[in-house]
Amino acid sequence: MEAVEEADGKGCVYFCSLSAVTPPEHVKIAVDAALAFRRGERPWNGLRRAGTPEARGETGSTKAKNDDAALIAATTAGQELSEEDHLLDDLFDAVLDHEDRLAAELAAQGLEKGISTQSLLDDALIAAMDDVGDEFSEGTIFVPEMLMAARAMKAGLEVLRPALAQTGEPPKGLVLLATVQGDVHDIGKNLVGMMLEGAGYEVVDLGVNVRPEEVLERANELKPDVVCLSALLTTSMPSMQKTVALFKKVESVYPMIVGGAPVTEEFALKIGADGYGENAPHAVETVHRLVAMGLGAQSAA
């Protein structure tokens, strides 16, 4: 993917379609180039550049440099990392590097070496996704990167799931997810679901194009702590409003969070939702807050 071509006072930014598997470094190149071009910066005059600095052999990986520096600092201080710490760090990095297979392998190795399931979850998988959420909030990474990291986290989580069940540790809460009627988009919903699972919640995903009555029926059946509704189309926002209105009409005890590209906090307040998820990390934070308040049926039970 070429970032920019500049010559004779004219320039253009080349973009390809970005998907969930587009290399994140390519996404960042494209966005950085576009922002710089809009600012009037022209550092590429007469140059044609493609790929990343690492791919061109210009610099080493920033991450590798940071890892090396941390290891040198720990060794210098006489605090050489234990085998367990090394594995947890590697699992943490596998999530950040979007390495699904490696994350699963390292999670399995951790269990074999006797590392506690909770430590593998809290100190590696969840900790990595916390970092991902912070970077997304800061604007240094984007949805494709966050989605790939979440997939790697889920790959590790699937390995840990049987062991977690054996510990008898209850989930932090039960969350019901759905994309509202009239909308078949699910990337945002799926991302929220994966991040919630990684954070220790049980998640039931009703899928896409879900009728208001079906959401209420399943909520009454499952008695979740929180119901999360997603919409990507402005045309499906009325259905989101109808779903929330139906829950309010029957005086349900299930807190409701709404989110999606066209959804705003103002709209969430207008329709009477209990929370708003500006993005996936923010949605997870809102779930944490509502569960901590003990408003849901599970918490009340």
The set of catalytic residues is: 183, 185, 236
Return the HEC string of 54-75.
CCCCCCCCHHHHHHHHHHHHHH
Both tokens of 264, joined, read 């705003």
Rounded Cα gap, residues 84 and 12, in angstroms: 49
Burial of 112 (0-12, 13-18, 19+ CB in 10 A): exposed
Rounded Cα gap, residues 208 and 188, in angstroms: 11
Burial of 148 (0-12, 13-18, 19+ CB in 10 A): buried
The SS3 of residue 142 is coil
Rounded Cα gap, residues 131 and 136, in angstroms: 9
Kindly state the helix (H) or strand (E) to which residue 31 belongs, with its residue range: helix 24-38
